[in-house]
Amino acid sequence: MSIKENIKFINNKIEEASIRCGRNPKEITLIAVSKTVSSLEVKEAYTENIIDFAENKSKELSKKVNEFSEDVNWHFIGHLQTNKVKEVVEKVSLIHSVDSVNLAKEIQRVSKNKNIVTNILIQINISNELTKFGIDKEEVFSFLKEIENFENIKVKGLMTIAPNTENKEFLRNIFKELKAIYDEIKLKYKNVGNIDFEYLSMGMSNDFEIAIEEGSNMIRVGSSIFKKNEEGDN
Ligand SMILES: *Cc1c(COP(=O)(O)O)cnc(C)c1O
């Protein structure tokens, strides 16, 4: 399957999953995770109307942004070290992976210097043992409290990386749990400080349909878009 066919296939799956749970497929942003692929392949996806791309390393992000001049939204989804913040901030429309107060502080500092406001998501580690980064769900409210007055940050929602498992019910429960936390914050923190929830970033190649059924509105899909000679399903 070509990139074009892959994207068509995934768009169909997004539509089917949306219809199954009574949602409008237009609510869901498909982010093409372009880490490790060439700018040529990014271009190919762009030709198929993909305008959101994600990278997980600051160096590769800079390279892609330089090589690819079209007006697209770049997302940062990898673990971000504080000393790399200044290389990332102005290039991206959303940082999905804020996982410490220190990191938020540095994003605030750099953004303030540049006189911009940076959109971020808080990465939550729902499944605990299986992924290294992200804050515990129990900590999210105290975390918000610590960063809610950072004026050069907008806290736009939550992100999680589900464990790599075939156990669909397990995945479903993780997504359900994150959606519940998201809804609670969205409701309780309306107009509080810099909190303005709009995005729930969950779902990757292997689990985006379940994530959509459970309320995700940003899915991050890499291998299913850019893989070449494999079978077309996921
Ligand atoms: C690589 C990556 C993805 C995409 O994963 P695929 O399984 O290739 O779709 C999504 N989110 C994050 C944070 C990633 O690092």
Least confident of 57-66, 95-104, 121-130: 121-130
Query: Which phi and psi angles does 156 have, rounded to 5°?
Result: -95, -5
Cβ of 23 closer than 6 Å to ligand 1, yes or no, is no
Pocket probe for ligand 1: among 58, 77, 226, the residue whose CB has the most ligand atoms within 8 Å is 77
Angle CA(134)–CA(78)–CA(224) in degrees, nearest 5?
110
CA of 93 to the centre of ligand 1 (A): 18
Residue 8 is predicted with a pLDDT of 98
Residue 127 is predicted with a pLDDT of 74
> What is the C-alpha separation between 136 and 99, in angstroms, rounded?
9
Amino acid at the residue 142: S
Beta bridge pairs of residue 31: 220
Please say if the pLDDT value at position 124 is more than 50.
Answer: yes
- Of all residues in the chain, what percent carry a pLDDT higher than 90? 89
Cβ of 10 closer than 6 Å to ligand 1, yes or no, is no
Cβ of 160 closer than 6 Å to ligand 1, yes or no, is no
Least confident of 66-70, 114-118, 197-201: 66-70
> What is the C-alpha separation between 106 and 81, in angstroms, rounded?
10
**pLDDT interval class at 131 (50, 70, 90):** low
CA of 224 to the centre of ligand 1 (A): 10
Residue 234 is predicted with a pLDDT of 40
Please say if the pLDDT value at position 176 is more than 50.
Answer: yes
**pLDDT interval class at 229 (50, 70, 90):** low
Higher pLDDT, 164 or 55: 55
Mean pLDDT of the chain: 94
- Tell me how many helices (H) and strands (E) the chain has: 9, 8
Residue 232 is predicted with a pLDDT of 43
In whole angstroms, how far apart are CA 4 and each of 1, 46, 49, 50, 103?
8, 10, 10, 10, 37
